[in-house]
Amino acid sequence: MTIKKNISGAEALIHCLIEEGVDLIYGYPGGAIMPFYDELYKFQDKLQHVLTRHEQGATHAAQGYARVSGKVGVCVATSGPGATNLITGIADAMIDSTPLICITGQVPSHLLGSDAFQETDIIGISTPVTKWNYQITNAKEIPEIISKAFYIAKAGRPGPVLIDITKDAQFDNFDFKYSKCKGIRSYKPIPQINLKSVEDAAFIINKSKKPLIVWGQGVILGNAELEFKSFIEKTNIPAAWTILGVSAIPTSHPQNVGMVGMHGNYGPNMLTNECDVLIAIGMRFDDRVTGDLKTYAKKAQIIHLEIDPAEVNKNVKANVPILGDVKQSLPLLQKLVDFKNYTNWYETFKEHDKIEFENVIKNDLYPKKEGLTMGEVIKEINTATKGNAIIVTDVGQHQMVACRYADFNLSKSNITSGGLGTMGFALPAALGAKMADPKREVVAVIGDGGIQMTIQELGTIFQTQAAVKVVVLNNEFLGMVRQWQQLFFDKRYASTELINPDFVKIAEGYYINSKRVSKRKELRKSIEEMIKSEKPFFLEVCVEKEDNVFPMIPSGASVSDIRLS
């Protein structure tokens, strides 16, 4: 237990963070959080602060840091607009289960409810998008609340926690004692595994002839990559992934049959409705994965391994739910399952792969037309990085193309906004990812629409000199919306065509090495130059304006209604 006599609440907050192993925070100062920043100035040798250019950038940077490091990300903002600017990133972290501690300053407690300057009810605003939140009005509360916040953010299914601290609580002195929270009465973050459910699941799996595994981010969040790999190799069952689950095993693994969902691979989507057992591991049956629930996997018995009871039977009824931590439940299940030779079943996947290659992949990766495709850009990034890079994507066509075609050899390599679909996520998240693991190459793949939502964070990258490689795929459209307008709204391109600035000049204005590519013969050399650079690098690639991302399951359609064109 750490004890400090007669220190301010602001200094106590610093000691809490240090005790929790925090060494890096992202934020933006202001009046109501100024006492904290004043104390932070004295602890620069122990706690690095990165000044982002916008509070939303601070949340996304903290998300990128958390997703790559496996630690809790921390961001700080002042009251009023500073606090409200965090909300998009907090909501993103909530739906994608990212552990964050978000600290906001607040007006002095005697002014609460008076509509004081820069006062907002951030507790009320953030309640729907946080795992927990709390407003501190007394300095003595700080140690217990911060300790509890870190425990809640990380325990069980992770998520964001917001702590709002009034200015007077930061100034007031008290005798500080700190001990880490190891549990909270009435909060049981990890359900106890029901061994009968494990036995029932094994019985169903061992009888199956066409089983399919679909895994999600829960495998990565549970640090269960080795257990997962061992399980699938013991069973020899084909395994498909959601976009947040990819990289838990290498994309080259022979049992990896591709991505499910709206722009996923043809085989695993079509054969979802042919499998006789669907084993869902650490995924939540999102609507972009299932399509029409009335027709989803109706031939299959559903086995659902999940840590959050709220996700079981929420969208898809499970025949056998296995609640618990997958790092613990997978080995128990593995002991009871048999290895089988599913040769014919795998051949069916390969037949679908051939169809997809001829109709989609060949045109994306080996185009005969003059203009560049997004797919061939990702292919060249794979070549230059040998599949060892962390790929951070924004939201849109480029995101789907990157998830489909990027090679991932290592876990925690695909950082993207999954559930909320936040444009503007990638640039600051890539900064956080790079600072979490400076030795790994980090490539941010961003559309020309998304980059303009947080383009100011180029200033943060310049100031930190984090060697993030930024690739903007410029098609002069809000590409995904335009695709829907083309396919479902008779090509009425309402408010989706972009008149863009000179991105290269903007990046050069931030003193970042920059280049523009529009011809195929320049692409490989330019990407190699970018990857070899030891400094930040900005590469704009001008791609075909009206290319579409296929396969595609129309919104609300069955997964077997997947379109190849």
Q: Could you give the residue numbers annotated as active site?
A: 55, 117-118, 167, 480
SS3 166: strand
Q: Contact at 8 Å (CB) between 417 and 96?
A: yes
Beta-bridge mates of residue 304 = 280, 321
Q: Contact at 8 Å (CB) between 67 and 442?
A: no
- Main-chain phi, psi angles of 415, to 5 degrees: -110, 115
Q: Give the whole-angstrom CA distance, residue 528 versus residue 159.
A: 37
Q: Do you know the residue count of the chain?
A: 565
Instruction: Take residue 508 and report the two structure tokens written for it.
Output: 């050069």
DSSP of 119-165, one letter per residue?
A: ---HHHHHGGG-SEEEEE-SGGGHHHHHHHHHHHHHSSS--EEEEEE
Q: Which of 441, 414, 92 is nearest to 250 (CA)?
A: 414
Q: Give the whole-angstrom CA distance, residue 317 versus residue 307.
A: 16
Considering only the C-alpha atoms of the chain, give the largest distance between any 2 of them, rounded to a whole number of Å: 72
**What secondary structure letter does DSSP report for 251?**
T
Burial class (CB in 10 A: 0-12, 13-18, 19+), 369: exposed
Place of tokens 């000691």: 15
Edge-to-edge strand order for the sheet containing 100-106?
A: 48-51, 24-27, 73-77, 100-106, 160-166, 132-136
SS3 563: strand
Q: Give the whole-angstrom CA distance, residue 558 versus residue 298.
A: 11
A 10 A CB-CB count for 430 gives 32
Q: Give the whole-angstrom CA distance, residue 429 versus residue 417.
A: 10
